[in-house]
Structures are given as C-alpha cells and as structure tokens.
Structure 1
Amino acid sequence: SLTSTMRGRIKKDESTGRYEIHLGGVKNRLRDILSSSRIIFVACGSSYHACLAARQVVEELTDVPVSVELASDFNDRKCPLFRSDTCVFVSQSGETKDTLESLSYARGVDAVTVGVVNVVGSEISRQTSCGIHLNAGSEIGVASTKAYTSQIVALVMFALQLSHDRNSKDARRQEILAALHEMPCQIESSIKRIDEVTRRLAKSLEQSTSILLSGRGFQFATCLEGALKIKEVSYTHTEGIHSGELKHGPLALIDDNMPVIFFAASDNTKGHIQSALEQVLARQTSGTFVIVCPEDDPDMLKYRGNKCEIVEVPKTADCLQSIISILPMQLLSYHLAVYRGHNVDQPRHLAK
C-alpha cells in the first residue's frame, strides 16, 4: 500500500540523484496553504494518530504552527476558526460523521480545506478545496492498518510538497524523500522476522489483562495507535502513555504483572527514553518488558536478556520511524486476537 501511495508522486532523477515530489491534488492551493496563519489537522481514531505522527515534520518543514484536533472534541468546542486557517481533514472512508461535521464548520468560515481520504468520490473528497488520495486499496477489516501507514506517508508528502521551494530545507527534504523511496523494500525484507518475534511475544501475553505502551517524540503516536490496535482486536486493556508523563502518575501501575512496551528511536528523544525505561526496569523484578527500536542500536541492544525482549525494526529517517515501528504492534494485536479466538476483521461492537 505504501508503494501505491507514493507511485507517480516521488521520482528520482538518476542523473543527479535528487528526488522530487508532485502532489497534483493540492498544487493549485499551495500558495493559499503556505500563507495560512496555522494548519489544523482534524480526524478521529487511527486517522487522528496519523496526524499526530506527522505533526512535527509538517511544522519543521513549513514553519507554520500545526495543531491536531479530535473531530468530536473540535465540534463540541466550536474551536475559533478564521479564513487565514488551513484545515486538513483525514479519514480513510471519507465519510466519518464527526469529521464531516468539522468540515462543514470550516467551510462556513471560508477556511482553506484539504481532504486526505482513501475513497474516491467520498463526501470529504467532494467538499474540500483540494486533497490527497491515499491509493491504499480497499481495507476490509474494521481496524485500520495499511490505511494508517499510508496516511502518515501522505501527510509527510504534503509537508514535502509545501516546502518544495525552500532552499534552507532542501537537505532535510532529500533525506526524507530518499528514506520514503527505500521504505517498501525495508519493510518487505524484515516483515517475516518481525512476524516471528511478535507471534512469540503474543503467546507470552495471551493471559495478560493490561499492557502499557510508552514513547515520545515521533513515537508517541505509535504508542497511541499500538494501544488502540491491541484494544480493538484482542480486547486487552492497553494504554499508550507519553514517556515524559510516566513520573507524573503512571509509574504507580508498574509491577511484575504489568507488561510494558517501549518505543525507542535514533533521534533527540533517545536519552529521555533511556531514562524512562530505566525507571520502569528498576520497578520490575520479572514480567514482560519489550523495547521496539531500530536495528543494531547498541544503546538499546544492551538491555537484551532474560528480563527484556528486543524487537528490532529497520532504521529510517526519524520522522518516518513511526511507520515502521507500528508494524510489530499491528502484528502483535493480530496474533493476540487469533490466540484468544477473536474475529480479527470484525471486532465486537464496532463497524467501519
């Protein structure tokens, strides 16, 4: 699905080695978006988490303030909007009721509206000023998996398109574009190994009643989405917590019966993550402790042992690491559900 999302949009000039990006769906409104006083992402569920995952890189590349809103909360508050705002509405189906209500409100104040959807001809795609189609293909199951990763890719490409003529961002843009180009091959070469590790991990967690996920920076969204996936399909109470918030209460939950999964990345949050996981390890004498981290990271591999399971994933650009780091959680939720005899595609009480 990632290949389909990027097909025809990211191209490499073989003579220069440079990458270029072209998003035809937003091309005619680029000037309006770039002149915005702020960019507001509005979404629900997994789409909301995808917006959180992309927020930092959009801010970095555009130098425009970015906020992320839950559509239902946005509607309750009637958040002040102005014509100078750009609102980006993200929805797999393009028909999410709360998101459509937010879109109607944004249109009422004449804000620039952008749709990021997977269904051509959907209500959001028809009502927005411009947009990006995911091209991820039909997603039959209720739980969003390939649509989620494609949404992050689409939003990162959106940021890359907005910064296409900024020389000061060129080196960073080329780094991200090259990483996007390589990502499908990285995932294909490692997915079987990750699946084997998560299958074994799921077996050890089969009797667990609660799981704690923690990370920060680009990986905070991974915690929230991973927790949602496990809750959705395996019916296991799971909580995603920002690592910086552990000391403000959640550490009280830690004991030998609380499985903990940390997400680490090779970026400026690594030191903070190490500090947080050391605090958790000091409070566990046994139990399940897992670190999901980029391959061959000596700072994380040193924790491998009887007390700690390491799930290594391919290393990519920091702003894209969440796309790869979510894969073990998607597979873990699947295997947990299978071991418990649940219908993975049709979780109880939920509908797409």
Structure 2
Amino acid sequence: KSAVTVGISHFDNTPLLKVSTHGIVIGNSPDESLCNTKAFFDNAFAMLAISNSFGDLGLDLDNLGEKFRNVLDKSDDPMKKMAQGIGRVDRIFVLGSGPNFVTAREGAQKIKESTHIHAEGIELEEFNHGCTSVIDDRSLVIIINSETDSPRTGDIVKACRFTGTKTAVINGEGDYSFTVPEKVDPYIQPILNMVPVYYLAYYMALQYGVNPDYLRFEDKRYLDYDNVVFPPGAH
C-alpha cells in the first residue's frame, strides 16, 4: 500500500492517472495511427528520462531529440526501397538480443498490425531452436544487430541463404541492410533502431495495398472483435 506509483499517459484525466501517485502526460496531440507508433516513442522517452533521473544512470539525453530527427530523415527513403526489394513474404521473424530484444518484439508487433502478415519478435539465439523449421523462400528474417551480436548475425544470414530466406539487417550486413546514422549509449540505441523498422512496416503495408494505420477495422468483423475485448473507454 505504501508503494509510490507513476502513471504515464498520452492524455490527461485517464483511469491510469487517477490511480497513480504521480502522473505524467506525454505528447501534445492524438496518435493518428491505431498502431500507436507515436505513443510508443513518447512512452519510451518518458521512461528513459525517469530512469535516468531516478537511477542516476548518467545517460546523455540532451541531444537525443536531434539525433532522433536525423534518424527519421535518413531512414525514410532507404526503407521504402528495402520494402520494394523484399517484395511479398508470408511470414516474418524479427530478431534481437539484449536491449534490442525489446526492439524486435515491438517491431514485429507493428509489422503485424500494419501489414496483416504474421510476424514474431524473438530473441536472436532462440530463433535457431525451432523457428528454422518454418522458414523458406517466402519468409523474411529481420535482425536488429549490435557489435556483440555481429558474429552470430553473420551465421544466421549465411544459413538463411540455404533455405532461400530473405534477410534484412539493421546495423549489419544481410540481403538488405541499413545502418542507423546515429550511435548512442547501447541502452538508448534500441529506441533509434526502432525508427527504420517502423518505416519498413509502413512501406510494406502500402506495397501490399493495406491501410497501415487502421488495424483492419475497415472490416466490421474486426472492429466488433475489438469492441468486445476493449469496450469503449477501456484504453
């Protein structure tokens, strides 16, 4: 009962803020995509600032906004071209380890929501235990790479060529590659690494003729499903 709670919400006067000891309202406008990409970054930055302050982590956050904008600007066109090169696939795995495991999970979620293709975010080494039985030439493996992971990333890329599986590597070499133009603390880097993955999800959806922002709600069956599990006002 004595625990102090901090609620982070995109809007004021939400149920979360009402039950929290302290409330933080982030963002200054609605998230226009039902995939909540804006809300993810707002929450990530808020949590990072809180952790840095409370835990005295000594992270340099002063120039993070400028670095983030630079990654936004320089990721757009390359990821559009990457989506065009990849073409149509039936299943997607997004791999990451350490701090980038979160990026892999979030990236897979957004790809799934945007493209309506099954995507799974999984720890890099865990992928080699079972998942390889379902990959083929209609599969895509996306790897969020780091210096620590590079040798194993190279092994997976090489192995995927035997099954005809396409690979896309962020910060490394694959069939398709993109290097995030900003390098920061390893515990902050996953936030910047998320940007190109979001762009890839967006452009893959457009290429497939899918509305990337609507979670299939233009089909009343899916909207009805959502209204049952999340009644209006639930979140």
Q: TM-score range by the shorter chain?
A: 0.7 to 0.9
Partner residue, 2:167:
289
Contact 2:91–2:118 under 8 Å retained in 1:
yes
8 Å Cα contact 2:160-2:166 kept in structure 1: no
Alpha carbons 2:35, 2:110 under 8 Å: kept:
yes
- Equivalent of 1:309 in 166, 170, 176: 176
Amino acid at match of 1:290: A
**Structure 2 letter corresponding to 1:319:** Y
Instruction: Provide the residue aligned with 1:187 in structure 2.
Output: 68
Aligned to 1:70: none
Letter of the 1:199 partner, please give it. Answer: K
| Aligned equivalent of 2:231 | none
Any stretches of 5+ residues in structure 2 without a counterpart?
Answer: 217-221, 227-234
CA distance in 2, matches of 1:202, 1:279: 20
TM-score, length of structure 1 as denominator length: 0.57
Q: What letter matches 1:147 in structure 2?
A: A
The answer for the alignment partner of 2:42 in structure 1 is 150
- In structure 1, give the amino acid aligned to 2:55: S
Could you tell me which of 152, 165, 170 is aligned with 1:275? 152
Deviation, 1:221, is: 0.8
TM-score for both structures, normalised by structure 2: 0.83
Q: Deviations over 1:300-324 (max 9, x none)?
A: 3xx3xxx622211121111111111
CA contact (8 A) 2:97 2:124 kept: yes
In structure 2, the residue matched to 1:260 is: 141
- 1:218–1:242 Cα change, 3 Å: same
CA apart distance, 1:155: 1.0
| Aligned-residue offset at 1:193 | 2.8
Q: Which runs of 5+ in 1 are unaligned?
A: 1-82, 84-109, 165-171, 294-299
After superposition, residues 1-352 of structure 1 pair within 5 angstroms as 83=1, 111-164=3-56, 172-173=57-58, 176=59, 178=60, 180-266=61-147, 270-271=148-149, 273-285=150-162, 286-293=164-171, 300=172, 303=173, 308-313=175-180, 314-348=182-216, 349=222
Assess if the C-alpha contact under 8 Å between 1:251 and 1:280 holds in 2: no
Q: Distance in 2 between matches of 1:161 and 1:190?
A: 25
| 2:179 alignment partner AA | E
Amino acid at match of 1:203: Q
Larger RCO: 1 or 2 (CA < 8 Å, sep 6+): 2
Identity of aligned residues (%): 24
| Aligned positions, number | 218
Higher alpha-carbon Rg: 1
Matched to 1:141, the amino acid is S
Over 3 Å counting, the alpha-carbon distance change for 1:340 and 1:254 in structure 2 is closer
Q: Secondary structure at the match of 2:213?
A: coil
Question: Which one-letter code corresponds to 1:309 in the other structure?
Answer: Y
Aligned residue identity for 2:99: F
